[in-house]
Amino acid sequence: MLTRFRITSFFLLLFISTGTFAQPDSSTNELENLLEDDLSKTPKREFINNAFKSSRVINGHSMEMIGKGVLDFRILHRFGQINGGFRELFGLDQASMRFGFDLGLTKNMTIGIGRSTFNKEVDGFVKYRLIHQHKKYKPIPFSLVWVSGMTMNTTKITDPALNLFTNRLGYYHQMILGRKFGEAFTLQLSPTFVHRNLVDLKSDKNDLLAVGVGARVKLTNRSAIILDAFPIAYGARSNYNQWPISIGFDIETGGHVFQLHVSNTRGMNEKAFIGETTQRWDKGEIQIGFNLSRVFTVMRNDDTSW
Rounded distance between C-alpha atoms, residue 281 and residue 82, angstroms: 11
Tell me the backbone φ, ψ of residue 129, rounded to 5 degrees: -90, 115
Count the Cβ atoms, other than its own, within 10 Å of residue 139: 11
Rounded distance between C-alpha atoms, residue 59 and residue 273, angstroms: 8
Taking CA 238 as the corner, what is the angle to CA 236 and CA 244, rounded to the nearest 5 degrees?
A: 50
**Residue 17: which residues within 8 A CB-CB, separation 6 or more?**
none
Q: In terms of CATH, what superfamily is 45-297?
A: monomeric porin ompg (2.40.160.40)
Rounded distance between C-alpha atoms, residue 174 and residue 179, angstroms: 16
Q: What is the pLDDT of residue 106?
A: 94
Q: What is the pLDDT of residue 22?
A: 44
Q: What is the pLDDT of residue 33?
A: 62
Q: What is the pLDDT of residue 11?
A: 44
Question: Pairing between strand 121-131 and 169-181?
Answer: unpaired
Q: What is the pLDDT of residue 305?
A: 40
Residue in 177, 68, 61 with CA at minimum distance from that of residue 125: 61
Residues of the chain with pLDDT under 70: 1-42, 84, 88, 90-91, 93, 239-241, 255, 301-306
Rounded distance between C-alpha atoms, residue 41 and residue 58, angstroms: 42
Q: What is the pLDDT of residue 20?
A: 43
Q: What is the pLDDT of residue 17?
A: 47
- What type of residue sits at position 96? S
- pTM, 2 dp: 0.80
Q: What is the pLDDT of residue 115?
A: 95
